[in-house]
Every structure is written in structure tokens, then in C-alpha cells.
């Protein structure tokens, strides 16, 4: 792999019409990559919104956000093939047509609570898609990139954890992510498939409908609903703006030192959930908050060390919570109050 070589590179993003995927695709296209997307639009996307299968609190707003995603992909001429990655033969046909050099696997259920409530669907959409993706990638591509999660660590035993921490995930979502990591490493051992595994944390940013905490806070505020915080609000998360994660993936693509490595790609400094709420309150002074008992399947987390990523692939985060979350709120206000996209 040539160092710093992204221009004209054939990159296939599975699950690329999702929150992470479309933001990443736009950046890679801007950098001159030859980007293709495969997405069924069935997991937390357009096809689940018509009947509001996931019981989103504000489905019409979610539809507006998804339409903006798809419009941006179309405007930037990023091809989207609507295909279910669980269909092995259909996926194989697309691999043969596109002949990617890099595969970025994002096809999965991206919500921990939903995973715990519907494990069968989560297994189906997370591990079967991965199996098909890996089988089509082996002996055919130069680099397989997988988005895991900080949830694989389970309860943080230290205030800051690095990639050498023993993983003890809690619940279905974290266990599946860790299982996926082990399967990918097995493909490397068996077929010499070059991989990189990334562990983001507490993502937030434009065009997310995954009901992450930062999104829930803003949507409730826009709709004059009370904010509910699990626990006392002093629990810390390493809140990470989407563009920092995208930057991290670009660093992975640029450096051969990323091959066969696992990286935390986060902001690198945790903040309390109360701090997130105080940032929200700057924009919505009258918003109310209540506290409730926390979910036992939610691990206690904190800061993820990004020292390894900085040392090996020159990653450095750019977006502290105060700045990134303020930008996100302004975007949300704009799309919420705009009658038509």
C-alpha cells in the first residue's frame, strides 16, 4: 500500500448510507477516492421509517434527516446500491463488479438497547453481514476496516483505557462487536486478510437518527420535552464528534502502520453527561431535566486513550465537546425549523 494514497482508490463502504457511512463517504469523495456504497436501507434507515418500526419519537424529523443524507450522496455522485448484505450471492456479484481495494464494514445494528431487546435481528444484521463481507474480501482486497465500539471494554477498570485493556463486554451489543473483532482476526490468521479495527465512543453529529444520547437531548429540547438522564449525570463518556472519527479513518487509509492494528478513535477526554446537558442548556435555557435509575446493561465508561493512534497513524482529534456539540445543535435547529429540505 502506498503511503498517503487515497486518490482514485476503490473503496466500498458496506452500510454506507448510515450515520457514520455517509459522512465518511462524503469526505473520501472529497479526497478523490472512488467510493461505492452498499446499503439495504433496512437498518435504522429509510425503509424502517415508513411504519416507524423502531418506534422513533420523532419519525417525520428522522425522515427529513435521511432524505438529506441521500440527497448529499446523490449530489456528490456517490453510487448507492440498495442491497441486503445478508444475501451472499447478491453481495458477491457486487464485489465482482466493483472490485474494491478497500472494504469498510459498517453494516450492523448500531444501537445497544435495540440489540438487547431484539438479539435475533442483531445477530442477523451484524454477524451474517460481516461473514458475507469477509468471505468476499478474503484473497481479493488490500485492506478491511471494521468499526467496533468502546462497548467491547465493558466496565472501565481505569479512568482511561487503552487498546491493551482486557475486554469484558456487557450485553448483546458489546458481545457481538467483540465477537466480530475475533472473527476478523481469525480471517487474518487463516487467509492473511489485512485489517484495521476501530473503537469509537459516544458519537454525535449531523444526520444521526440512531438515538444516541447527544441526539436525544437535542430532539427533546426542540420538541419541549423533558431531558431524562440515567443515574446522577456524573458518569463520564468520551464524546466524539463524527468528523473526528472520519479523520481517524482517513489516517488509517493513509498509513500502512494501521495494518493489523486496533485503535481507539475518540476525542480522547471524557466529560460528564451533566456537562453535555449544560451545553444543551446554553441553547435551550428553559429545558428541564429529570434523573432515573441507570440501565444495568450500560457499562461504566470514561476516557479512551488515543496515544497509539497518534503515534502510529498521526491521529489527533480536533473537536472538543463545547465546540462540536454547539455546531451540532445549530445544524439541528436549522433542519428542524426548515419546513422543507
CATH of the domain at 184: 3.40.50.720
Residue 25 located in a structural domain: yes
Domains: count for the chain: 1
Q: Which of 144, 123, 118, 147 is nearest to 133 (CA)?
A: 144
340 band by pLDDT with thresholds 50, 70 and 90: very low
Residue 135 located in a structural domain: yes
pLDDT at 321: 97
Which H or E run contains 32?
A: none
Pairing relationship of beta strands 195-199 and 143-147 according to DSSP bridges: parallel
Residue 256 located in a structural domain: yes
Q: Tell me: the pLDDT tens digits for 292-309?
A: 998 887 889 999 999 999
Per-residue pLDDT, averaged over 14-31, amounts to 96
Q: Tell me: the pLDDT tens digits for 56-91?
A: 767 788 888 989 999 999 999 999 999 999 999 999
Highest mean pLDDT among 58-72, 106-120, 220-234: 220-234
Tally of residues, the chain: 341
Q: Tell me: the pLDDT tens digits for 123-161?
A: 777 788 999 999 999 999 999 999 999 999 999 999 899
Residue 47 located in a structural domain: yes
Lowest mean pLDDT among 23-32, 119-128, 162-171: 119-128
Residue 191 located in a structural domain: yes
Residue 232 located in a structural domain: no
Q: Please give the distance of CA 101 from its chain centroid, rounded to a whole number.
A: 21
Residue 233 located in a structural domain: no
User: 97: domain range?
Assistant: 10-202+240-266+305-318
Pairing relationship of beta strands 203-204 and 10-14 according to DSSP bridges: unpaired
Which H or E run contains 3?
A: none
Residue 169 located in a structural domain: yes
Amino acid at each position: 500500500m502506498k503511503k498517503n494514497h487515497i486518490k482514485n482508490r476503490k473503496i466500498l463502504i458496506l452500510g454506507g448510507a448510515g450515520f457514520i457511512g455517509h459522512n465518511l463517504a462524503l469526505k473520501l469523495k472529497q479526497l478523490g477516492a472512488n467510493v461505492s456504497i452498499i446499503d439495504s436501507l433496512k437498518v435504522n434507515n429509510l425503509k424502517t421509517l415508513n411504519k416507524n418500526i423502531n418506534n422513533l419519537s420523532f419519525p417525520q424529523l428522522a425522515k427529513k434527516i435521511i432524505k438529506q443524507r441521500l440527497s448529499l450522496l446523490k449530489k456528490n455522485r456517490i453510487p448507492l446500491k440498495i442491497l441486503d448484505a445478508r444475501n451472499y450471492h447478491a453481495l458477491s456479484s457486487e464485489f465482482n463488479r466493483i472490485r474494491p481495494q478497500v472494504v469498510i464494514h459498517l453494516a450492523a445494528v448500531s444501537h445497544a438497547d435495540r440489540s438487547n431487546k431484539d438479539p435475533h435481528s442483531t445477530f442477523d444484521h451484524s454477524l451474517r453481514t460481516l461473514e458475507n463481507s469477509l468471505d468476499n474480501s478474503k484473497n481479493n482486497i488490500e485492506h478491511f476496516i471494521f468499526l467496533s465500539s468502546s462497548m467491547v471494554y465493558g466496565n472501565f477498570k481505569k479512568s482511561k483505557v487503552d487498546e491493551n485493556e482486557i475486554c469484558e463486554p456487557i450485553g448483546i451489543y458489546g458481545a457481538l462487536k467483540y465477537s466480530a473483532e475475533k472473527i476478523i482476526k481469525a480471517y487474518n490468521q487463516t487467509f492473511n486478510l489485512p485489517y484495521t479495527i476501530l473503537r469509537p465512543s459516544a458519537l454525535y453529529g449531523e444526520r444521526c437518527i440512531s438515538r444516541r444520547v447527544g441526539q436525544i437531548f437535542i430532539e427533546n429540547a426542540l420538541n419541549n420535552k423533558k431531558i431524562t438522564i440515567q443515574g446522577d449525570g456524573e458518569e463520564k463518556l468520551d464524546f466524539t464528534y463524527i468528523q473526528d472519527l472520519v479523520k481517524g479513518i482517513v489516517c488509517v487509509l493513509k498509513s500502512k502502520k494501521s495494518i493489523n492494528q486496533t485503535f481507539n478513535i475518540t476525542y480522547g477526554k471524557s466529560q460528564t453527561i451533566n456537562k453535555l446537558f449544560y451545553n444543551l442548556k446554553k441553547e435551550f435555557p428553559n429545558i428541564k431535566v429529570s434523573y432515573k435509575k441507570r440501565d444495568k446493561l450500560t457499562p461504566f465508561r470514561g476516557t479512551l486513550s488515543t496515544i497509539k493512534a497518534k503515534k502510529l497513524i498521526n491521529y489527533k482529534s480536533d473537536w472538543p465537546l463545547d465546540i462540536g456539540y454547539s455546531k451540532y445543535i445549530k445544524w439541528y435547529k436549522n433542519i428542524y425549523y426548515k419546513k422543507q429540505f
